Amino acid sequence: MCVNKDVIIACDFENKAELLGFLKKIKTKKLFLKIGMELFYREGPEIINFLKDLGHRIFLDLKLCDIPNTVKSAVFNLTKLNIDMITVHAFGSKAMIESAKDGLLRSSREILLIVVTILTSISDEILKKELMIKYSLKKTVLNYAKEARKSGADGVVCSVHEAKEIKRLGFENFLCVTPGIRYKKQKDDQMRTATPIEAKKSGSDFIVVGRPITRSKYPILMYEKIYKDFLGENHE
């Protein structure tokens, strides 16, 4: 599947009304939007149909993680929403990722299967002390990426810092979707952050940007700046 790099806007809003308020500020642009648990669980599948009718691409980020057969069925049901990208969590095992891929293949739609590795809110210290994983964060993410690729996934979610290492593995057409994009260190739950230019240099294929755009006084200007810094051109 041929994939063009893009900036994905994380629509982490409480409800549809907040989302509509934001989209009015962006005006008529066709965007790649991430819909996560917060909005999907509040508004349901209808929010996806609504956004698709407006012409937007959809990254459905639910981080599915359950027994393989359950995830397979869930993924297949979600393909009916005509989404463009979906996530499962690496913690579910190779068998679960393979089952998720099987669920996608049951559909005629081309949907990217992306595996979440280690959340960008997690540090090396949390990984070792709380999650009891003895290996370094970088080594863990790289291993998850290797297993995800073997299992048929199209790519992984990781921070910009690990994306560079994953690209060095030489996996052809294996995507790195990188959240935690910031121009400066902010007091929030993201720990492994980077700028759009750093993401570009690391080889990221997609960057996911939420609060720097959605909470900006001038979101359209911020979006255009991030888009140009990452892709080197203006959004058409």
- The Cα 178–Cα 92 span in angstroms is 20
- Domains in the chain, please, with CATH? 6-227 (3.20.20.70)
Give per-residue burial for 83-98: e unless 16+ CB within 10 Å, then b: bbbbbbbbebeeebbb
H-only helix segments in 68-218? 68-79, 94-105, 124-129, 137-150, 160-168, 196-202, 211-214
**Catalytic positions, written as ranges:** 63
pLDDT over threshold 60, residue 186: no
Mean local confidence (pLDDT), 69-94:
97
Residue 34 has pLDDT above 90, yes or no: yes
Q: What SS3 class is residue 67?
A: coil
Residue with tokens 């910031």: 182
Q: Predicted confidence band at 70 (pLDDT cuts at 50, 70, 90)?
A: very high
Cβ-contact 229, 195 below 8 angstroms: yes
pLDDT confidence bin for 55, thresholds 50/70/90 = very high
Residue 236 has pLDDT above 80, yes or no: no
CB neighbourhood size of 77 (10 A): 12
Which residue carries 């959605």 as its tokens?
214
Averaged pLDDT, 62-71: 98
Q: Please, what is the average pLDDT of the chain?
A: 92
Q: How confident is the model at residue 220 (pLDDT cuts 50, 70, 90)?
A: very high
Tokens read off for 154: 């199209």
What is the predicted pLDDT for the residue at 190? Answer: 58
Report the percent of the chain where pLDDT is more than 90: 81
Place 191 in a pLDDT band, splitting at 50, 70 and 90.
low
Torsion of CA 234, 229, 185, 122, to 10 degrees: 100
Check: CB of residue 75 under 8 Å from CB of residue 64.
yes
3-state SS, 108-124, equals: CCCCEEEEECCCCCCCH
Instruction: Give tens-digit pLDDT for 93-123.
Output: 999 999 999 999 998 889 999 999 998 888 8
Pick the most confident of 24-38, 44-58, 180-194: 44-58
Q: Residue 83 half-sphere exposure, CB side, CA atoms within 13 Å?
A: 28
Q: Give residue 212's pLDDT.
A: 93
Tokens for 171?
A: 């996996």
Q: Which two tokens stand for residue 100?
A: 């998720």
Indicate the burial class of 173 (C-beta count within 10 angstroms; 0-12, 13-18, 19 or more): exposed
Contact yes or no for 69/77 (Cβ under 8 A): no
What tokens does 230 get? 């990452």
What is the model's pLDDT at position 185?
A: 61
Say how far apart CA 150 and CA 176 lie, in whole Å: 15
Q: Who has greater pLDDT, 50 or 235?
A: 50
Give me 227's structure tokens. 């888009």
